[in-house]
Amino acid sequence: MFDQRAFRLFEQIIRYEKMTSGALVRKMGLSERQFQYDFEKMNQALRHVGKSEIGMRNQCFIIDPGLKTAYLEGSELFIRQEELFLGEQDRVYLLYLYTFMRQEEISNFHYQRVLHVSRNTALSDVKKVRGFCAEADVRLVYSRLSGYHLVGAERDKRVLAGRCVNALLVLPLGEVALKFVLESWGLRAWLDETERILLDWQKVNRVELVQDRQREWLYLVAFLRCRGKHAGLVFSDVERELIGQQSVYRLTESLVVQLFGTRDVMERFYVTVQVIGAQRTAEVGEHVVLLDLADRIIAAFEKLTLLTLDNKRELRRSLYDHLVPAYFRIVFSLPLIAPMTEQIKTAHPELFAFVRQALSPLAKLTGKTVSAAEIGYFTIHFGGYFERKHEARRDFEALLVCPNGISTSLMMKSQLRQLFPELRFVMADGANIPESGYDMIFSTVYVPTRKPVYLVQPLLTSLEKNYLIQAVAADFPTIDHRHISVDALLEIIERHAVIEDEQKLYDAIFNKIYGKVSIERGYAPMLSELLTKDMIQFTDEELDWKEAIRLAATPLVTANRVKTDYVDAMIETVEEMGTYIHIGKGIAIPHARPEKGVNQIGMSFLRTRTPVHLVDASGPAIDIFICLAAVDNEAHLKALSQLTKFLTNDVALEKLKQAETVDEITNLLTEGEEQE
């Protein structure tokens, strides 16, 4: 019997067939005992459905090519309903959807039958479903006349149904489970018909949806069609006006007729919102307010991170494409499940925090909190623009296939460029892959082709990067000589030493070997490591603002962290842009672009006991200058984040301004870091 863990192991082995079992154990965070248990359970499940087992020799997996091809091409022959094992939370989602689309009165026996569980387990699950429903003012009630049924506003019921669909689709067996719900009512064929209607409508009207959102919507619409209820769906006058102004609204009447056999205007409003929330691109002239919002978010991000982003016009356009569906998802409470959110927060905590702050105009415009999932997608969107420029020859061409939207495409492209500066990357549509003109494909989805295909995640861990480097090096030995296996090195170390933190050691080895081309998880210094004693100064002199910046930057020049040209550039930037370096409370952070003369990341601190007016006598009075020298777009963010937290703490800031010695300053900074 397949459970989520055994099926996830199966998926990972198929996806990373060249990865050793030891590396896969590290990647999945399993113990050796857990791996052996799941491996046997996986093969047992494969035997039950008449499939070839996966073998293993010398830590290498042996996979029947037919098994791999059948799975990647979408074969549904792997699991029978009675072979599916579901966890507690999975059963909650399935019971809700089963009840949501009920075709007859439901009793506890129905729940037992569809879940293959005991009476007591089914009753326990009903209690959990009731708790889930309460989150959206929906109730699961039972009566002898009507059986189990849902009570509440129609839109709230649909929001919960969307959450169930989205939550299940990110699980290894989620899609299989959703199909089983449809099959349990004898309505599995409706899914195929719904998919045909949606794809035909998109093709005729040239509407392109993000693949993940399209898949979520497909299942939700299939459940809605099977349910067949439209009464009680209500939108306010303000909402109707907003939706009716959208160009997509003109196209959705025919879709509603095909899907539901009705011209119900409320259903049309609902479908329009769903389409916009899943769109890949948006028309520029249609949402002037959101285009202006994109500008404000970019400006806020630059101010918070002290960065000047390149290709701002391109960033503005792509951010707008992302903002439009995000705005409608937030306003109309469309659920968004982003399985990468925690990984993004772990890999880029400072960037995530700055993006959260930069999105405050979006929260203000919608009047709602921007969820962590939405922030995560905006984070990888900005992260996708953090690229290093490479001068290496690019003799090979690689296609990038990522149907899940511009944000994930940008992040994937950025990481791959850093890993493989020798390659020229070209974005490609997964539905129209050319037969020639390229050497390899990097894709988030299976692509049938004779060329080498490397399946990748949008956000790569160091272990996945190492695997990818080894895989590409095996197929293209002339690309790069840096194909040292971190796994092989780790196995040698394990034989001769006790490893306390294997993941940290793995990351450290990887960054040491591939650090020049991989900065995603590279080392970022803390504030106290940059503002050391030799970087801190006090002065009693009366200075003008240019003299203050030059004096503040002196330790950086002396330590050869910056050239004198960089100091000139900081002053020129203030002359061009005004007092933008003033962040409030008498604090200024002079900085310029890295290419203006930064040799090494650094910060320096100057306290002027006589306040200095920026630009002219009417400018803000500054008594703390903190010069920043950043080498790239991300290495300084940790220190900057710590500095921001410190300076927004009024008590800590007052102590900083009252400090009389260098030791007092360094002690305050260290104390602030220890309290995080």
First to last CA, the chain: 45
Q: Which residues, listed in sequence order, are joined to residue 399 by a DSSP beta bridge? A: 426, 441
- b/e code 111-138 from CB counts within 10 Å (16+ = b): bbebbebeeeebeebbeebeebbeebeb
Q: Last residue of a domain, which of 352, 383, 414?
A: 383
What is the mean pLDDT of the segment spanning 165-190?
90
Q: pLDDT grade, residue 665 (50/70/90)?
A: very high
CATH code (residue 370): 1.10.1790.10
Q: Give the number of domains in the chain.
A: 5
Q: Last residue of a domain, which of 83, 107, 140?
A: 83
253 and 109 in one domain? Answer: yes
Q: Is residue 589 part of a domain?
A: yes
Q: Is residue 389 part of a domain?
A: no
**CA atoms within 13 A of residue 9's CA, in its CB half-sphere:** 28
Backbone angles phi, psi at 423, to 5 degrees: -100, 150
pLDDT score for 537: 96
What is the mean pLDDT of the segment spanning 395-403?
85
pLDDT score for 405: 67
Q: pLDDT grade, residue 236 (50/70/90)?
A: very high
Q: Is residue 390 part of a domain?
A: no
409 and 356 in one domain? Answer: no
Q: Is residue 388 part of a domain?
A: no
CA 63 distance to own-chain centroid: 31
Spatial CA neighbour of 536 closest among 667, 388, 430, 424: 667
Rounded Cα–Cα distance for residues 554 and 560 (Å): 10
What is the mean pLDDT of the segment spanning 61-69?
89
Spatial CA neighbour of 81 closest among 41, 125, 113: 113
Q: Quick check: 242 pLDDT over 90?
A: yes
- Tell the residue number behind the tokens 């490397």, with chain if given: 454
Contact 332, 615 (CB under 8 A): no
- Outline where DSSP puts E strands in 366-514: 396-401, 423-428, 440-443, 453-455
403 and 370 in one domain? Answer: no
Q: Is residue 391 part of a domain?
A: no
Q: Quick check: 46 pLDDT over 60?
A: yes
- Per residue in 517-537, pLDDT (tens digit) is 433 334 578 898 999 999 999
Q: How many Cβ atoms are within 10 Å of 595's Cβ, its own excluded?
A: 10
pLDDT score for 526: 87
pLDDT score for 163: 95
pLDDT score for 590: 94
Q: Is residue 664 part of a domain?
A: yes
Rounded Cα–Cα distance for residues 28 and 531 (Å): 38
Q: Is residue 605 part of a domain?
A: yes
- Per residue in 23-42, pLDDT (tens digit) is 888 888 888 899 999 999 98
Q: pLDDT grade, residue 388 (50/70/90)?
A: very low
239 and 126 in one domain? Answer: yes
- Tell the residue number behind the tokens 């006598």, with chain if given: 617
Which of 16-20, 69-73, 263-267 is the least confident region?
Answer: 69-73
Helix axes 174-184, 88-100, angle to 10 degrees: 40
133 and 251 in one domain? Answer: yes
Which of 146-155, 207-216, 471-480, 516-525 is the least confident region?
Answer: 516-525
Q: Which residues, listed in sequence order, are joined to residue 608 by a DSSP beta bridge? A: 539
Angstrom CA distances, 494 to 22, 358, 489, stand at 12, 44, 9
Q: Is residue 657 part of a domain?
A: yes
pLDDT score for 675: 67
pTM for this predicted structure: 0.79
Q: What contacts 311, CB < 8 A, 6 or more positions away?
A: 385
Encoded tokens for 662? 């260098």
Q: What percent of the chain has pLDDT over 70?
A: 93
- Per residue in 577-622, pLDDT (tens digit) is 888 899 889 999 999 988 899 999 999 999 999 999 998 888 999 9
Encoded tokens for 369? 């909190």
Spatial CA neighbour of 275 closest among 305, 296, 297, 254: 254
Angstrom CA distances, 71 to 67, 176, 357, 426, stand at 6, 13, 42, 27
544 and 437 in one domain? Answer: no
pLDDT score for 84: 65
493 and 535 in one domain? Answer: no
100 and 238 in one domain? Answer: yes
Query: Is the four-CA dihedral 19, 22, 27, 32 of positive or negative sign?
Result: positive
Q: Last residue of a domain, which of 83, 101, 117?
A: 83
Encoded tokens for 616? 């002219």
Domain that holds residue 450: 396-514
CATH code (residue 447): 3.40.50
Encoded tokens for 258? 């095909």
pLDDT score for 284: 82
Radius of gyration of the chain (CA): 28
- Per residue in 538-549, pLDDT (tens digit) is 999 999 999 999
Rounded Cα–Cα distance for residues 194 and 225 (Å): 8
Spatial CA neighbour of 122 closest among 92, 149, 101, 143: 92
What is the mean pLDDT of the segment spanning 326-350?
89
Backbone angles phi, psi at 582, to 5 degrees: -80, 120
- Per residue in 321-330, pLDDT (tens digit) is 999 999 999 9
Which value, to the nearest 10 degrees, does the dihedral of the CA atoms of residues 26, 30, 36, 38 take?
Answer: -120
Q: pLDDT grade, residue 389 (50/70/90)?
A: very low
Q: Quick check: 631 pLDDT over 80?
A: yes
Query: Is the four-CA dihedral 461, 464, 470, 471 of positive or negative sign?
Result: negative
pLDDT score for 81: 58
418 and 301 in one domain? Answer: no
CATH code (residue 574): 3.40.930.10
What is the secondary structure of 72-115 as a DSSP string? HTT---S--GGGB---HHHHHHHHHHHHHT-SS-B-HHHHHHHH
420 and 402 in one domain? Answer: yes
348 and 214 in one domain? Answer: no
Averaged pLDDT of the chain: 87
252 and 116 in one domain? Answer: yes
Contact 511, 532 (CB under 8 A): no
- Per residue in 112-157, pLDDT (tens digit) is 988 888 999 999 999 999 999 999 999 999 999 999 999 999 999 9
pLDDT score for 444: 84
- b/e code 196-212 from CB counts within 10 Å (16+ = b): ebbeebbeeeebebbbb
Encoded tokens for 141? 């009630």
pLDDT score for 517: 40
